[in-house]
Amino acid sequence: FAIAIGGYLTLGSNQRAVTVLRWLYRWPLFIPFIVVGQILRTFLAKNGLMNSLLIESGILTPLQAMSFLDWRGIVIAFVWKQTPFVTLLLAGAMASIDRSTIESARNLGAGRLRILIEIVLPQVRPTLLVGLILSFVTMMSVLSVPLMINAQSPTMITANMAFRINAYGDYGVANALGTISLLMTSLVAWIYLRQTMKEHG
């Protein structure tokens, strides 16, 4: 989603659509995670807004409605919340690209999709990697979203840690889960640093 939005902001020909999109995509950045959890609890529940709209439009029947307050809801929440952040980084990187390369490709008959994939993306790959890593670390540290959407299994490691401490006082397992989280984020950071050193070496 972030690549598509950033690509349209850079390559889009309809300036009005670009202006509206640039204004709209940033809104989730300013919404706290706990509010995101509450919004999606209302939106994704079995009797929530999403199913009500689908039933009213005739796409679903009341018997076909289902709740998305499980791992799917957690994924939807983080994608919706983090896409604007990654898009903001990508849009800035894409805006700094030398426009002459894009115009040359257009003069040679390349379409927008081909320009995005073959010219723009290779130049902003480091920025995309940074955005994905920071989003991963952010998701590993958020407790409110998994607790509000789905605190049962399968859930996120942060919710499991909180449950172990609050329900059982099991600090040993909670500490072990915390160590696993640290190792996972450290591995991602190491991969990023290694890639960065290769590119600048």
pLDDT in tens, 143-164: 888 888 876 766 788 888 888 8
Tokens of 47: 């009797």
The dihedrals phi and psi of 57, each to the nearest 5 degrees, come to -85, -5
Identify the band that residue 36 occupies on the pLDDT scale cut at 50, 70 and 90: very high
pLDDT tens readout for residues 171-201 = 998 899 999 999 998 998 888 888 777 766 5
Mean pLDDT computed over 36-53: 90
Residue carrying the six token digits 């690209």? 97
Would you state the pLDDT for residue 4?
87
Q: Which of 35, 68, 37 is nearest to 51 (CA)?
A: 68
CB 120 within 8 A of CB 10: yes
> What's the mean pLDDT when you consider all of the chain?
86
Would you state the pLDDT for residue 154?
67
Q: Could you give all domains of the chain from N- to C-terminal order, each with its CATH number? A: 2-200 (1.10.3720.10)
> Torsion over CA of 133, 118, 29 and 189, rounded to 10 degrees?
10
Rounded CA gap, 138 and 133, in Å? Answer: 9
Alpha helices in 57-170 (DSSP H): 71-95, 99-107, 112-115, 121-141, 144-149, 157-163
pTM (2 d.p.) = 0.82
Residue carrying the six token digits 């980084």? 89
